Structure formats: C-alpha cells, structure tokens
Amino acid sequence: MKVIIAAAQTGGHINPGIAIANKIKQENKNAEIMFIGTTRGLENDLVPRAGFELKTIEAYGINRKISIENIKNMLRTLRGFSETKKIVKKFNPDIVIGTGGFICGPVLLAATKLKIPTMLHESNAFPGVTTKILSGKVDAVLLGFEDAKPRLPKAKKIVITGTPTKVRKIKLSQMQKDKIIKELGLRIDLPIVLIFGGSQGARTINSCLIEIIQKKSNSNYQIIWASGQKQYDIIKNDLKELKIDINKIQNVKILPYIYNMEEMMNLADIVISRSGAMTITEIAKCGKPAIFIPFPFATENHQEYNAKVLENVEAAKIILDKDLNVETLSNTLNEMLKDKVKLLEMGKNAEKVAINNVEDKIYEEIKKLVKL
C-alpha cells in the first residue's frame, strides 16, 4: 500500500497523521508512506523524527481580508497545487489522507483530480474552512467528535472515529503516585492541579498563575505547571523580579514542557488548559474534570466549541480568556475541589465522550477505500 498524508503547522494536525501512519505500518509492514507539509511548521521536526519522508510545498490559509500579502499567498498556494499534483502523480498512492488544516486543500484536491481515493480526518468539534470546502469532494470524512457532524451537510460519507492520541487512562498505584509526587518536590496530601497551555505556552494563563503564586492562593492544592519552552525563561525572570525562585515555590512545580503527559494527566485531580482537539481527547480518555480557557484567536473560535463538548456533559467548566483572572480561576477551582463526589462524577462524565480503538476504526475505513 502506498499512502500520502497531508499534515502541517501544528501538533494537533501532525500527530494524528503520524498515529495513522504508524497504524498503517503496524498492519502493513511494506506500506510506503509520504507526508506532504510546508517548510514553516512543526512537521519539519515531528515527521522525520517519526521516521517518515516529508515533501514540502507552498501553501497558505484562507484569509478573508483583502490585502496584497493575502493575494500573494493565494498565488503561492496555486503554485503549490501545481507542485503537489506532480508529487502525487509521481508517487502514485493508493489513498491520500488529510488530517486538517490548509495543507489539505491543495493535496486532497490534487488527489481528487487524479481519481485517487481520499480521506479527511477532522479532530475539532467545529470544522475549519478547508474541511467544509473539501467535505463534499473527498470519499470519506472521519470526525473526532459527534458534534462536528451537523456542520458538514455536504459530506459524502461521515464516520465518527475519534482522534488518535498516545495518552491513555492508566491505573497508578498509591506507591507510584507518591513516588512521582515526591520526585517533583510536592506533598502527597494535597490535590494536584495540572496546568498547561500547549507546547508554546499560553501567556494569559501564565500571567494569572504568577499572580496566584505571588498571593499564595494555592494553599489547599498543588500545581504542576507546564509553561511552554518559549515562556519558561520569561516566567523565571518575572518571578525573580518578585524575589521568587522558580525552583523553590511552595506547592508548585514549574516545567518548560511535560514529556510524560500520560503519567501527569493520570496523576492529576483537575486539568486546566486551552481546549485544542487533542487536549479534549486526552482529558476524556483519562476521565479528568477540567477547566478550559479556550484560545480566543483560534480559527472560527473552534476551541470554545471543543470545550463545550465536555461542558455539555458536565465534565468541565469554561472560563473565557477575556474573563480570566485570579478571582475567576480561584473561585472556579476551589468550588470544584471542595466537592469530591462531584469531581469524581465529572471525571466519569468525561470518559463517556471518549472513543476507544480509534486507530482500528480509522484503518477499517482506509481498507474500505483501498479495497484491501
């Protein structure tokens, strides 16, 4: 089997593509897989690191504002389409799969022109512009959330598969929990709140947490906080100006990045984060109550729609970015922490949204199109 996967820019698009590629390789060791991306995104690191070939083209997102730069980007994307068609024709795949984002436009359109079977995976609850445009052209659309289905009325075929993720629910023994907590320099007798804003961090959330630390508002809970690689030094300096050593904060452990997210997610009592599709999927898988602060500049406000997937089943609370401050965050958090029974219910409600055997479901749809 020969497969092309279009995935670019963010981990939320690229990691599902890599998970699908790994599943194909697991089922078909002789499969040839090529990724197509841009020269500007995380795919240039993540795809080669995962052991797959990457071809890059010029492609840009659709911007509704009329400007010279936007016109230039449209012309570049048209050139990218021509280049893509050559790549696809030469590789001659059995199927072309897109995992969301504007890169899917030129790649999947090229495949449809060449009469090659096509599949699109959309991980967000509110599909993006590219997905909406392509949904009526590709052979199948796979969705991460049921909520997205009514928003794609022109799709030929829709299958709810869920979104692939490495993070799973694991049962940590008390001994394992205590060991991890002690290694972090934290106490074993207080609830743990896991906080992160994505791989790049979230400045609004970070600023709020600095104030919580300054006011010592977290005496009844502990924080494990992934600040983001780029923001760690900024936070360290901000704390230094307040005469606070980043490595010696009571009830707080600050890390640039969390590499063992599965372990940390399963350890936490509550998760506070942005609401990208991957994050929602992981929280649901682990059955954790959450507080979401959706990224306000996400395309078509899709992060708020993602967050509502868990809010609607009473598994999460939402605080809009514009409303985020020490008071709103502390009040919401303390309200949740004081009712342990309700907290357990929220976690169970989150699990109801989780979809199991995601990679198997996706591979079954690939087989149908390739006619294996």
Please state, in angstroms and rounded to a whole number, the distance separating the CA atoms of residues 314 and 349: 7
Q: Rounded mean pLDDT of 45-62?
A: 85
* Average pLDDT in the chain: 91
pLDDT at residue 9, rounded to an integer? 78
Is the confidence at residue 74, as pLDDT, over 70? Answer: no
pLDDT at residue 253, rounded to an integer? 97
- Local structure of 206: helix, strand or coil: helix
Query: Confidence band (pLDDT; 50, 70, 90) for 73?
Result: low
Query: Confidence band (pLDDT; 50, 70, 90) for 236?
Result: very high
Query: Confidence band (pLDDT; 50, 70, 90) for 65?
Result: low
Please state, in angstroms and rounded to a whole number, the distance separating the CA atoms of residues 138 and 302: 22
pLDDT-above-90 percentage for the chain: 76
Please state, in angstroms and rounded to a whole number, the distance separating the CA atoms of residues 172 and 109: 46
Contact 168, 146 (CB under 8 A): no
Q: What are phi and psi of 170, to 5 degrees?
A: -130, 145
Q: Position 120: which residue type?
A: L
pLDDT in tens, 274-322: 999 999 999 999 999 999 999 998 878 999 999 999 999 999 999 999 9
Integer angstrom CA distances of residue 295 from 89, 162, 307, 338: 39, 22, 10, 27
Question: How many angstroms separate the first and last alpha carbons of the chain?
Answer: 9
pLDDT at residue 298, rounded to an integer? 84
Please state, in angstroms and rounded to a whole number, the distance separating the CA atoms of residues 144 and 131: 13
pLDDT at residue 197, rounded to an integer? 82
Is the confidence at residue 199, as pLDDT, over 60? Answer: no
Tokens describing residue 268:
């936490």
Alpha-carbon dihedral 24, 5, 148, 196, rounded to 10 degrees: 90
Q: Rounded mean pLDDT of 263-269?
A: 96
pLDDT at residue 60, rounded to an integer? 61
1 closest CA partner among 95, 120, 108: 95
Q: Rounded mean pLDDT of 116-137?
A: 93
Query: Confidence band (pLDDT; 50, 70, 90) for 95?
Result: very high
61 closest CA partner among 99, 102, 100, 98: 102
How many other β-carbons are positioned within 10 Å of the β-carbon of residue 15? Answer: 21
pLDDT at residue 202, rounded to an integer? 78
Is the confidence at residue 101, as pLDDT, over 90? Answer: no
pLDDT in tens, 322-358: 999 999 999 999 999 999 999 999 999 999 999 999 9
Q: Answer whether 0.75 is exceeded by the pTM.
A: yes
How many other β-carbons are positioned within 10 Å of the β-carbon of residue 103? Answer: 33
Least confident of 49-63, 84-98, 277-291, 322-336: 49-63
| 142 membership: H or E segment, kind and range | strand 140-143
Question: What domains are there in the chain, each with its CATH number?
Answer: 2-162+356-370 (3.40.50.2000), 174-353 (3.40.50.2000)
Q: Rounded mean pLDDT of 80-92?
A: 87
Is the confidence at residue 63, as pLDDT, over 70? Answer: no
Least confident of 55-64, 170-179, 189-198: 55-64
Is the confidence at residue 200, as pLDDT, over 60? Answer: no
Strand 316-318's sheet: what is its strand order? 252-255, 222-226, 192-196, 270-273, 290-292, 316-318
Is the confidence at residue 372, as pLDDT, over 90? Answer: no
